[in-house]
Amino acid sequence: MSIRLRLTLWYSGLFAVAFVFFGIIVYNVIYHNTMNDLERRITQVATKVQATRTGFSQFNLNSSAPGFNASIIGIQLTTYTKDPTGIVSGKSNNLVNWNITFPYPDYQHVHERFVSQDVEGATFFIYEIPVVDDSRNGVIGLLQVGVSIYNEMNLFNQLRTILWISGIGGLIAAFGLGMFLSRKALMPINRVTEAAERIQSGSGLGLRIPREKPNDEIGRLTDTLNGMLSGMERAYKNLEDSNAAQRRFVSDASHELRTPLTTIRGNVDLLEKIWLNDKRLNPDHVEEDQEKQERGALSAVDIQQMSLESIRDIADEARRMSGLVNDLLSLARADAGYSMEMESLSLRALVEEASRRASFLPRKSEWVVGPIDALDGVEVRGNRDYLLQLLFILIENGFKYTPSGFVRLYAVQSAEYVGLTVADTGIGISAEEVPHIFERFYRVDVSRGETSGTGLGLSIAKWIADMHQAKLEVTTQLGEGTAFTLWLPIIKRAPVEV
């Protein structure tokens, strides 16, 4: 059963209950008001009954009450003095003319009451009053005043018919109106369902549900669902970007690892051939043709020289692979949400150690340190090892891309931050390349093939800066040099001397 039908049935049921309750109230109010009016009228007639003797123990009854209407009200007197079952001893003229006798109880069941009786096919509403003789201490008669309620019964029947017909008609109208209103009310939900079905069928998460009245419940539901769709679209896009970045990462990592592995395999194959062709190292070749051996043999010096070169190449590529694996491990930690251990650090001591170690790095440019007076008394919250790694990445990049000139490390200070700048006079970076330099495995075109590297250093530096809630800025000019500035938030500084 659909929600629309259930809502309509609930609505119709409530309408039916309310209408039945209303009909009962209306019917009872009209019924009791009408019957109370009749009771009042016949009570007045009964209190002013007049009896005129027409014979022995026979009376003609009448009433002087203002409400007495002989055309509809009849009066009857029954006596029990001669017969306990009762003898009719008097009637009003209208009852005589109509030849109607009201039914009456026997002596033992006489008491004051109002009762409806069917008499000769007509319905009368009768008021019965016992006639008591105080000297005999008992009931001697019964006075009955009855009024025809034909019109009233017709009124009640018509009223019941009207209520039934209007109730059934109202219920049908309520059902139809309920179906119409529920359809209008549920139309936004149908649009939500249709939109969800289109999304499920592959129409895309960019679809949005139109809203009509944002302040009602359906409007708020539409806003919530549209917000959820926007969140899902962003999450899906981020997932796609993440998957694309992961595939690119794996591809680039495989490429970077393949190069040193190829070099290592080539040198291993070369060493294997050299040693297998040397008769001094391989006795199995002793019986080969002497002339061929003399023509193709290498001297011991040549073998030693070639072996040393191969071993150096293998060692260099092994170190390169080790550095690449360490970089990949750092990026894997970044992707896994690695949390660094932080402590309060004296920044000047850290920079002095980094500058001392940097002086031993291979370079073609001059290494300049200072001024770093802005670091005096300054403390930051960070991880010593990772901050040293970040500085070395920037310094090594400066040495790598500065064939002549100098690389300089200096410090500046602002209101809440302290900046460490590594500036060089190297090849610089074009403006188009700057937005991409922190991407993994990205290398500036002018440096590809000319300098060694994996393109991971600046990605790691950016991650370390983010973990320290620091900002990493770059200013560069192609052909003139580049400056990277790390802005670290200050947690403590030396007091200013007055």
Q: Per-residue pLDDT for 53 more than 60?
A: yes
Q: Per-residue pLDDT for 55 more than 60?
A: yes
- pLDDT, residue 301, reads 75
pLDDT bucket at 65, cuts 50 / 70 / 90: confident
**Which of 112, 103, 101, 114 is closest to 139 using CA atoms?**
112
Q: Residues with Cβ < 8 Å from 24, sequence gap 6 or more?
A: none
Q: Per-residue pLDDT for 33 more than 90?
A: yes
- Which amino acid, residue 228? M
Higher pLDDT among residues 462 and 276, named by residue? 462
Structure tokens at 16: 């039916």
140 burial (CB, 10 Å; 0-12 / 13-18 / 19+) is middle
Structure tokens at 254: 């495989």
Q: Which of 29-33, 255-259, 268-272, 433-437 has the highest mean pLDDT?
A: 29-33
Beta strands in 339-413 (DSSP E): 343-346, 366-369, 379-382, 406-413
Q: Which range among 281-295, 354-368, 424-438, 464-478 shows the weakest confidence by mean pLDDT? A: 281-295
345-403, pLDDT tens digit by residue? 888 888 988 888 888 888 888 999 888 888 888 888 888 888 888 898 899 888 888 88
Structure-token match 């003095």, residue found: 81
Q: How far apart are the first and last CA of the chain?
A: 85
- pLDDT, residue 401, reads 87
- Which amino acid, residue 458? L
SS3 of residue 286 by DSSP: coil
pLDDT bucket at 213, cuts 50 / 70 / 90: low
Q: Per-residue pLDDT for 58 more than 60?
A: yes
- pLDDT, residue 389, reads 85
Mind listing the domains of the chain with CATH numbers?
Answer: 3-156 (3.30.450), 205-338 (1.10.287.130), 342-492 (3.30.565.10)
Q: Which residues of 54-67 are buried (b: 16+ CB within 10 A; e: fewer)?
A: eeeeebbbbbebee
CA 147 to CA 145: how far, in whole Å?
7
User: For a pLDDT cut of 90, what percent of the chain falls above it?
Assistant: 10
- pLDDT, residue 151, reads 87
Q: Which of 221-225, 233-237, 359-363, 385-389 has the highest mean pLDDT?
A: 385-389
**Which of 482, 457, 476 is closest to 390 using CA atoms?**
457
CA 222 to CA 212: how far, in whole Å?
9
Give, as one character, the DSSP assignment of residue 82.
Answer: S
Q: Per-residue pLDDT for 240 more than 50?
A: yes
> Mean pLDDT of all residues in the chain?
80
Higher pLDDT among residues 105 and 248, named by residue? 105
Structure-token match 């990605």, residue found: 459
- Let me know: does 94 contact 81? Beta carbons within 8 Å: no
Half-sphere exposure at residue 206, Cβ-oriented, CA atoms within 13 angstroms: 3
Higher pLDDT among residues 190 and 172, named by residue? 172
Q: What is the mean pLDDT of residues 429-447?
A: 73
Q: pTM of this prediction?
A: 0.47
- pLDDT, residue 67, reads 66
482-491, pLDDT tens digit by residue? 999 999 998 8
pLDDT bucket at 244, cuts 50 / 70 / 90: confident
Structure tokens at 345: 């650090």
- pLDDT, residue 69, reads 78
pLDDT bucket at 333, cuts 50 / 70 / 90: low
Higher pLDDT among residues 117 and 291, named by residue? 117
- pLDDT, residue 433, reads 84
264-289, pLDDT tens digit by residue? 777 787 777 777 766 555 555 444 44
